[in-house]
């Protein structure tokens, strides 16, 4: 194996990988033990016996969380609970700005549509799923056969009474399939959230950046019905009882301490071709960042001018800006570290192996050429598809009308539920101004006028190119700006002549054109490339890319140096938060409300939360654990399986790690659990929560 191969695809180091906990190999277990893990594989995951697995939850279908008490108390990130906190906030009860704490159990706030799921077991089902798949099938037929088989498997497991459901998920781009079984609880209530001055300190400025001081946590509780089983919300429900929950450690960590993380990482593309990376950079990341930048500038100005709009748009803005900055940082990181050069060097060596190996030649000849051709032929369509999607989703009313239109064609979707969600947090004037800017931007960004919708001629000919004037006319005549009318509409088909739905209808032609420009061969060739890679290196243990299934990552507490002049320590301390606030008085991301400023100035954080090594209350810390989106809220555990932190971010310099892990730079940023406990106990006066925890 060449030096390049060893550098890129050599033996995985201890800190790389998102490993399936259901089949920890002897090799991986040996590495874990050597780093400091004192638990057995069965104590991490066991089908039928209590294990650490039982304390980890999928939070809302977009984050992770950890159960920390026998009464169903869940810790997750503040930004994971942000939408819920925002939903319950008003200008009178601004839980975003001032935080929230339920002094009594009856004060815990129910949140419709929020759920948590416990992972019960995972089993391989490749043979069952692929039973009817033949080599003669194209990708569409193959997918249909797999979906049909998967539906039968999940239907056999489904138990609605007990909240049991299953998902069959592809691994290695569909070369293997596993079925994960879950138990879902739909009555989840908000218990505690810090003020934004702590829970969102640093905002956009510090997002994906180290050093951090963010106390990124929120607390929820799972409720159950009779017999401790899942149930829809009811005043009669009681806190869920569990024997498996995480114990919390106040002993902390040191530089080099072992740390493992459990959660639901969303998506990585570690084995994607160089052609796929170029497509991601040019046709997804760049246009996504560009369009969101336009939208966010408009929103930010309006949010700064009005508390009402700030509360309504805060969650939407945070969601948008998170991957706006991620897209920018990922492209910068890919270029900075020569990721494409390394990928191409590996592909050259892989191709040489294919040409020299008789069996591989028959199976994989031409796979790289095919990928190159497929990505080239779909590049323009991918670019326009991103522009189209980002423009469409940038306006709440346009998106609602489009969803209504699609429900007519597809015969599905709860339009009234979508309408209720839309009108809960919208300012019609801001929505119109945003859409005007986005429609103008779309016309300026698409590579050809062929991708413009018919209404662009109306804007040009009847409104002199004035997008806002055009939309003022549309919005003034549309029933979508009149919630009472929409809520009384029994059938969506009654709205087909509405001006806003007609605008949506005008977008369908472009959508169909985009759909027609793609085929399914890219996934086929990427799967073949990944199969060839694993076949060439049979002795290497490959973890599958993240796919929002439960994974474990492991490593050590460790700082890093992003350049020759800078050395970052592995932790931040309480004084650094006040220092940022003083140093950047005009930066709203570093604003501290008076109560938080007073609490910090007093410095009475609780001596039990002071780190013995540093002599201060550590705020956040670094490990070289693997992390990506979806890991937010993941429990971070020491070698004894005790909770020491909550993962909430990665570092900007290594945002290309979703494509290629960088051992020297990739870091997982976590909030120290002692910081969390101090905020709960000494700031929020949350004695009721503290009494539930098992603290070691």
- At residue 516, the pLDDT reads 61
Residue 209: partners with Cβ closer than 8 Å, 6 or more residues away: 202, 651, 652
CA–CA dist 640, 33 (Å, integer): 11
- Per-residue pLDDT reduced to its tens digit, 97-127: 999 999 999 999 999 889 999 999 999 999 9
Express each pLDDT in 553-573 by its tens digit.
Answer: 999 999 999 999 999 999 999
Are residue 221 and residue 261 in the same domain, yes or no? Answer: yes
Confidence of residue 15 (pLDDT cuts 50, 70, 90): low
Judged against a pLDDT cut of 70, whether residue 75 lies above it is answered with yes
Q: Would 257 be classed as within a structural domain?
A: yes
Q: Judge if 659 and 549 occupy the same domain.
A: yes
Nearest Cα to Cα of residue 617 among 630, 604, 627, 635: 604
131-151 burial by CB neighbour count: b if 16+ within 10 A, else e?
A: eebeeeeebeebbebbeebbe
pLDDT tens readout for residues 379-410: 999 999 999 999 999 999 999 999 998 888 87
Annotated active-site residue 216? The verdict is yes
Model's pTM, two decimal places? 0.92
- Asked if residue 128 belongs to a domain, the reply is no
Distance separating the N- and C-terminal Cα atoms of the chain: 47
CA distance 292 to 510: 21
Between 354 and 410, residue with greater pLDDT: 354
- Tell me: do 320 and 467 sit in the same domain: yes
Among 49-53, 321-325, 405-409, whose mean pLDDT is lowest? Answer: 405-409
556 torsion bin: left (phi>0), alpha (psi -120 to 50), beta (else) = beta
Q: Is 558 helix (H, G, I), strand (E, B) or coil?
A: coil
- Report yes or no on 179 lying in a domain: no
Is the same domain home to 469 and 551?
Answer: no
Does residue 7 register a pLDDT over 80?
no
Domain-embedded: residue 339: yes
474: burial class by Cβ within 10 Å (0-12, 13-18, 19+)?
A: buried
Q: Give the active site residue among 216, 531, 611, 658.
A: 216
Same domain? 313 vs 293: yes
Which residue among 487, 521, 555 closes a domain?
Answer: 521
Structural domain includes residue 146? no
Mean pLDDT, all residues of the chain = 93
- Pair (473, 580) in one structural domain: no
Catalytic residue flag (residue 79)? yes
Cross-strand pairs, 177: 170
The answer to whether position 299 is within a domain reads yes
Which of 79, 401, 553, 638 is catalytic? The answer is 79
CATH of the domain at 77: 2.40.10.120
Looking at 13-17, 297-301, 327-331, which range is the least confident one? 13-17
Which among 319, 315, 265, 318 is positioned nearest to 634, based on CA atoms?
265
> Does residue 265 sit in the same domain as residue 278?
no
**358 within a domain of the structure (yes/no):** yes
Structural domains in the chain (count): 2
pLDDT, residue 412, reads 64
β-bridge mates for residue 263, sequence order: 551
Give percent of the chain with pLDDT exceeding 70.
97
Asked if the model's pLDDT at residue 10 lies above 50, the reply is no
Would you state the pLDDT for residue 362? 95
* Catalytic site residue from 180, 478, 632, 657: 632
- Known catalytic residue: 243? no
Beta-bridge mates of residue 188: 222
- Do residues 249 and 302 share a domain? no
639-666 tens-digit pLDDT: 999 999 999 999 999 999 999 999 899 9
Tokens of 471: 């939309």
Residues 248, 316 within the same domain? no
Mean pLDDT of 618-636: 96
Above pLDDT 90, what percent of the chain? 88
- Per-residue pLDDT of 493-542, as tens digits, reads 899 999 999 999 988 888 877 876 666 689 999 999 999 999 999 988 89
Place 601 in a pLDDT band, splitting at 50, 70 and 90: very high
Return d(Cα 80, Cα 203) in angstroms, integer: 14
What's the domain range around 108?
A: 3-115+186-269+542-690
Same domain, 204 and 333: no
| Shared-domain flag, residues 435 and 374 | yes
- Do 73 and 217 belong to one domain? yes
pLDDT value of position 511: 82
Is 556 in a helix, a strand, or coil? strand
3-class SS shares of the chain: helix, strand, coil, % to 5: 50, 15, 35
Q: Which of 472, 489, 521 is the last residue of a domain?
A: 521
Tell whether 224 is covered by a domain: yes
Instruction: Using the structure block, give the residue that is written with the tokens 């995985």.
Output: 12
pLDDT digits (tens, 9 = 90+) for 412-429: 668 898 999 999 999 999
């Amino acid at each position: 194996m060449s030096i390049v191969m060893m550098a890129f695809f050599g033996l995985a180091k201890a800190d790389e990988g998102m490993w399936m906990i259901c089949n920890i190999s002897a090799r991986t277990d040996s590495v874990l033990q050597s780093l400091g893990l004192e638990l057995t594989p069965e104590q991490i995951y066991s089908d039928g016996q209590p294990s650490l697995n039982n304390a980890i939850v999928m939070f809302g279908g977009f984050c992770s969380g950890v159960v920390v008490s026998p009464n169903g108390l869940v810790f997750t990130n503040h930004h994971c609970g942000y939408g819920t906190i925002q939903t319950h906030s008003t200008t009178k009860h601004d839980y975003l700005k001032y935080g929230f704490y339920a002094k009594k159990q009856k004060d815990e706030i129910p949140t419709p549509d929020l759920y948590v799921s416990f992972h019960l077991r995972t089993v391989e089902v490749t043979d069952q799923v692929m039973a009817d798949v033949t080599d003669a099938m194209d990708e569409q037929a193959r997918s249909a056969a797999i979906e049909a088989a998967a539906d039968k498997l999940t239907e056999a497991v489904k138990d609605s009474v007990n909240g049991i459901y299953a998902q069959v998920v592809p691994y290695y781009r569909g070369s293997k399939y596993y079925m994960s079984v879950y138990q879902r609880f739909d009555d989840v209530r908000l218990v505690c959230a810090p003020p934004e001055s702590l829970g969102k300190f640093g905002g956009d400025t510090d997002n994906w950046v180290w050093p951090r001081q963010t106390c990124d946590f929120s607390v929820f509780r799972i409720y159950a019905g009779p017999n401790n089983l899942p149930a829809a919300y009811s005043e009669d429900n009681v806190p869920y009882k569990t024997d498996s929950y995480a114990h919390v450690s106040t002993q902390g960590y040191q530089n080099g301490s072992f740390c493992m993380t459990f959660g639901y990482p969303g998506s990585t593309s570690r084995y994607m071709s160089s052609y796929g990376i170029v497509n991601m950079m040019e046709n997804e990341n760049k246009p996504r960042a560009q369009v969101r930048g336009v939208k966010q500038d408009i929103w930010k100005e309006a949010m700064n001018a009005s508390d009402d709009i700030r509360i309504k748009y805060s969650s939407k803005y945070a969601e948008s800006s998170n991957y706006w900055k991620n897209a920018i940082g990922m492209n910068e990181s890919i270029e900075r570290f020569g990721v494409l050069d390394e990928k191409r060097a590996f592909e050259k060596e892989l191709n040489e192996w294919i040409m020299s190996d008789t069996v591989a030649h028959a199976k994989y000849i031409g796979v790289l050429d095919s990928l190159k051709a497929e990505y080239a032929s779909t590049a323009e369509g991918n670019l326009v598809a991103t522009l189209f999607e980002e423009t469409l989703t940038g306006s709440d009313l346009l998106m609602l009308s489009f969803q209504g239109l699609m429900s007519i064609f597809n015969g599905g979707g709860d339009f009234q539920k979508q309408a209720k969600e839309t009108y809960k947090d919208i300012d019609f004037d801001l929505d119109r101004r945003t859409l005007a800017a986005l429609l103008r931007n779309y016309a300026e960004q698409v590579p050809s006028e062929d991708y413009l919708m018919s209404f662009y001629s109306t804007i040009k000919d009847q409104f002199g190119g004035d997008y806002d004037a055009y939309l003022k006319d549309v919005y003034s005549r549309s029933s979508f700006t009149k919630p009472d009318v929409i809520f009384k509409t029994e059938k969506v088909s009654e709205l087909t002549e509405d001006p806003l739905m007609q605008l949506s209808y005008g977008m369908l032609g472009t959508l169909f054109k985009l759909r027609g420009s793609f085929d399914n061969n890219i996934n086929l060739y990427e799967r073949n490339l990944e199969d060839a890679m694993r076949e060439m290196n049979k002795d290497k243990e490959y973890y599958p890319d993240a796919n929002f299934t439960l994974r474990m990552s492991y490593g050590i507490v460790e700082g890093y140096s992003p350049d020759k002049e800078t050395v970052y320590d592995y932790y931040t301390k309480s004084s650094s938060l006040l220092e940022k606030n003083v140093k950047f008085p005009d930066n709203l991301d570093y604003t501290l409300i008076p109560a938080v400023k007073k609490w910090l100035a007093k410095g009475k954080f609780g001596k039990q939360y002071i780190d013995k090594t540093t002599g201060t209350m550590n705020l956040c810390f670094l490990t070289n654990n693997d992390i990506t989106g979806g890991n937010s809220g993941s429990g971070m555990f020491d070698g004894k399986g005790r909770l020491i932190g909550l993962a909430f971010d990665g570092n900007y310099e290594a945002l290309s790690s979703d494509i290629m892990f960088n051992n020297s730079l990739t870091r997982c940023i976590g909030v120290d659990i002692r910081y969390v406990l101090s905020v709960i106990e000494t700031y929020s006066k949350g004695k009721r929560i503290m009494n539930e925890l098992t603290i070691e």
